[in-house]
Amino acid sequence: MSILITGGTGYIGSHTCVDFIKKGLDVIILDNLSNSRAEVVDYIEQITGIRPKFYHTDLLDREGTKKVFDENDIESVIHFAGLKAVGESVLKPVEYYRNNIVGTLNLIDEMRAHNCFKIVFSSSATVYGKPKTVPIKEDFPLSTTNPYGTTKLFIERILEDLCVADDRFSVALLRYFNPIGAHESGLIGDDPNGIPNNLMPYITRVAKGVLPHLNVFGNDYETRDGTGVRDYIHVIDLAAGHYSALKCLEEKGVHIYNLGTGRGYSVLEIIEAFERVNNVKIPYIIAPRRAGDIAECYADPSKAAYELGWKAELGLDDMCRSAWKFEQLNTRK
């Protein structure tokens, strides 16, 4: 029996592949390489000693997706594949809805046609919109402020409705906060195409001299130092959270968990930690607020701790150190 990881050459997907292979699971990767490179499969093999089967396929390609299920005995799916840039989604909503939602519907069709009824979905804290209070619990109200977040919310609803209609399914909705860091080897990490949207890959490229300075998007928020506060979680901890989530799939129905550390750091605190740990300077300027940003967002991760026996173990220093090591080793074109 195998586990299909859609988006498995991506940032979180590749780290999850490594975690699962090291824990003895048989992993198959499906990825369209729209925001990652085929070399990641080589790196996964280099780290684990095992080369996972890789299908260069798009979930919008019905025949290609069917082929993956026809050729393998897939017991469950970890579904990462999707477009994920908040700003880009505002400019290209139709592409985001088609890619993320239609892709998921195609995946569900092939799962049903092949008696595969277990899925873990890569959701996001963005479904909480602008939370009234923090820390955030799983039963907080849901709302979204951009098409990317709306695709996550819609897919959660689709999977919930699927479980009501078909009691063969078990679904885990994992709401990630802010994944950063990289595998200790420095071979895999957050390697977005073009200018990074997210804070940490932008910082590492400033440290490398590829970008001149960091723009801090606003320092007038209602936070301890005026800059945005987020729950940064090491991608290694996040990957392990997916392994823990497999347990809950033994039970039918929908299971929802926040995957965060329960602690928030501000942008200025991230800069300070990165400079201290790596002995580098990160020049920055205070820039206007970014549209759609909220002041503060961090998790109450107690439900995952209680029900899955999972909690984040790695600290901010290791997140900063590993992110910088990956950037230094990464000879991205």
> What residues act catalytically?
148
Q: Is the dihedral of CA 217, 219, 220, 225 positive or negative?
A: positive
Question: Taking CB under 6 A as the rule, does residue 290 contact ligand WQD?
Answer: yes
Q: Which stretch binds ligand WQD (CB under 6 A): 164-172, 195-203, 246-254, 308-316?
A: 195-203
Q: Is the dihedral of CA 251, 104, 91, 330 positive or negative?
A: positive
Under 8 Å CB-to-CB from 330, ≥6 apart: which residues? 186, 189, 191
Q: Are 152 and 233 in contact (CB under 8 A)?
A: no
Residue nearest to ligand WQD (CB): 228
Question: Taking CB under 6 A as the rule, does residue 228 contact ligand WQD?
Answer: yes
Q: Which is nearer to ligand WQD, 67 or 137 (CB)?
A: 137
Gap between the Cα atoms of 146 and 126, Å rounded: 9
Q: Are 276 and 268 in contact (CB under 8 A)?
A: no
Q: Which is nearer to ligand WQD, 3 or 214 (CB)?
A: 214
Question: Taking CB under 6 A as the rule, does residue 224 contact ligand WQD?
Answer: no
Gap between the Cα atoms of 26 and 20, Å rounded: 8
Of residues 112-141, those binding ligand WQD (CB under 6 A)? 124, 126
Q: Which stretch binds ligand WQD (CB under 6 A): 91-99, 196-204, 237-245, 300-308?
A: 196-204
Question: Taking CB under 6 A as the rule, does residue 230 contact ligand WQD?
Answer: yes
Q: Which is nearer to ligand WQD, 116 or 201 (CB)?
A: 201
What's the token pair of residue 205? 């490229």
Binding site for ligand WQD (CB under 6 A): 84, 86, 124, 126, 178, 197-199, 202, 214-217, 228, 230, 267, 290, 293
